Amino acid sequence: MSDAVTMDKIVSLARRRGFVFPASEIYGGLGSSYDYGHYGVLLKENVKARWLEAMVRERDDIVALDSSVILHPRVWEASGHVTGFTDPLVDCRHCKRRYRADHIADSECGVRPSKHPGETELCDLTEPRQFNLMFETRIGAMEETGQAAYLRPETAQGIFVNFKNVAQIARRKPPFGIAQIGKAFRNEITPGNFIFRTLEFEQMELEYFVPPAEADTWYRYWIQERLDWYLGLGIRESHLRVRPHGADELSHYSSGTSDIEYLFPIGWSELEGIANRGDYDLRAHTDASGTKLEWVDSEAGERYVPYVIEPAAGVNRSMLAFLVDSYDEEVVAERPRTVLRLHPEIAPVKVAVLPLIPRNADIAGRARRLYEELRKVIVAEYDDSGQIGRRYRRQDEIGTPYALTIDEQTLEDDTVTIRDRDTLAQERIPIGGAREAVLDRLAQEWKTPKPG
């Protein structure tokens, strides 16, 4: 087994099996935008559910929030986004293309793609100009009189501006956190790399408020915690690393940032950022709004502005990492097979029920009943079309951990075959215990059989 994955193979499988489609495809597509089909939605929802579980359900110190996409425009002035959330861009006067000044070395010349912008005699690049990444819109019916507003470029600010509401009602004392999953929008001009960088995407962000003296300890704690989350969901350790930002890379508010990077087919790239934001955000919103965002403990006579540790992850980028890490090809009985070796906890479908001879009404009836029983507790799929080999291949390509096959023997001795996606082992088990057998297997610890 070799790591045969490429971005093209992922794009093609995602499309073939209905995980991800180009957006507005019948109109020629829209750059850096994608739509998620059935299995894409299930996979994405599983990623989000595992994150929420790890953040909220399994802990006592974090509560959930769902804030608006459109916030008061002054939020983005106070946060520094109106002036500072920019990329340096250069235009080519010849080919009319636009490039990120800091990504020239990874960009293709619009006329000669084998060259980088600026490398041919025809290239005529402008000086870099700062370009704001926020999408602007208007509130109100009239284009001219409506109030300018922005689609949020990150979910974090919605958390900071709710700090007082949440801290009072949740009756939590630092260290405590607020977790949010939601859409964010950025007018990214660097296209490509599938769902790695898109105009709209979902973020999973935690703002963890701590006493200032404990900030560094919690910063290091969250780096490890988030690394363990990816490992626990099956990502190979050899493909994950932590990269601390150099002093020249740090944002204006940050006294420490580390990226968790994944070895994508495009090279090591950011999967998630963990930042020590200090008290920058709460102070900025206190100054701009006049509302004191601080921790007050009247009993202890304590009052201070907490520091914030922020693990900020992308749903779509994680999903891409899970797809890439799980993609595998092998030859079985002289036939190639493609399989997504997804961790069972995030696999879109947990079990497939396959009647071997669908036109046999007794077999189909037994299969259908088993399927009805399973779908009450887990995502199950019933598939009766095509040869059994093809049906297995289809389930392999969407990463279904188990398949149950009902055949003539089932009618004689009430047993079914359970097939394991990873080992391809097949075992006959009593149909009455099939549900428990699947649930037991799904609950077992899982490690990818892919080599590191």
- Binding footprint of ligand ATP on the chain (CB under 6 A): 154, 186, 188, 197-198, 201, 203, 270-273, 312-314, 316-317
Toward ligand ATP, which CB reaches closer, 267 or 301?
Answer: 267
Cβ distance to ligand ATP smaller for residue 100 or 116: 100
Considering the complex, state which of residue 107 and residue 203 has its C-beta at the smaller distance from ligand ATP: 203
- Residue closer to ligand ATP by CB (options 188, 373) is 188
Pick between residue 14 and residue 313 the one whose CB is nearest to ligand ATP: 313
Closest distance between ligand ATP and the C-beta of residue 188, in Å? Answer: 5
Return d(Cα 233, Cα 226) in angstroms, integer. 11
We find the least distance from the C-beta atom of residue 313 to ligand ATP, in angstroms, to be: 6
DSSP H/E element including 12:
helix 7-16
- In the bound state with ligand ATP, the residue whose beta carbon lies nearer, of 50 and 421, is 50
As a whole number of angstroms, the distance between CA 209 and CA 105 comes to 39
The SS3 assignment for 285 reads helix
CB of 253 vs ligand ATP, minimal distance in Å? 12
Minimum CB separation of residue 312 from ligand ATP in Å reads 4
Buried b (16+ CB within 10 A) or exposed e, 247-278: eeeeeebbebbbbbbbbbbeeebbbbbbbbbb
In sequence order, the β-bridge partners of residue 269 are 262
Indicate the residue among 72 and 197 with the shorter CB distance to ligand ATP: 197
- Nearer Cβ to ligand ATP, position 320 or 438? 320
The DSSP symbol for 31 reads T
Smallest distance, Å, CB 314 to ligand ATP? 2
Residue 233 or 363: the one with the smaller Cβ distance to ligand ATP is 233
Shortest gap between Cβ of 203 and ligand ATP (angstroms)? 5
Please report which residue ranges of 197-279 form alpha helices under DSSP H.
Answer: 215-232
Torsion of CA 253, 258, 262, 263, to 10 degrees: 110
Residue nearest to ligand ATP (CB): 314
Residue 232 C-beta: closest distance to ligand ATP, Å: 18
Give whichever of 317 and 366 is closer to ligand ATP, judged by the CB atom. 317
Question: Which residues are 313's β-sheet partners?
Answer: 204, 272
Q: Which residue has the tokens 């079309």?
A: 385
CB of 138 to ligand ATP, least distance (A): 23
Rg for the chain (alpha carbons), in Å?
25
Sheet holding 98-100, edge to edge: 98-100, 86-91, 129-132
Shortest distance, position 390 Cβ to ligand ATP, whole Å: 34
Residue 141: burial class (beta carbons within 10 Å; 0-12, 13-18, 19+)? exposed
Q: Phi/psi at 319 (nearest 5 deg)?
A: -60, -40
- Please report how close the Cβ of residue 277 comes to ligand ATP at its closest, in angstroms: 11
**CB-neighbour burial class of residue 170 (10 A; exposed 0-12, middle 13-18, buried 19+):** middle
Q: Which CB, 188 or 422, lies closer to ligand ATP?
A: 188
CB of 164 to ligand ATP, least distance (A): 24
Closest CB to ligand ATP among residues 135, 382: 135
What is the smallest separation between the CB atom of 376 and ligand ATP, expressed in angstroms? Answer: 35
Which residues, including other chains, have CB under 8 Å from residue 235's CB and lie 6 or more apart?
Answer: 262, 321, 322, 325
Measured distance CA(244)–CA(415) in Å, rounded: 55
CA 46 to centroid of chain Cα atoms: 10
240 Cβ contact partners less than 8 Å away, ≥ 6 residues apart: 227, 230, 231, 260, 261, 262, 263, 271
Distance CA 122, CA 411 (A): 75
Q: How many CB atoms lie within 10 A of CB 117?
A: 26
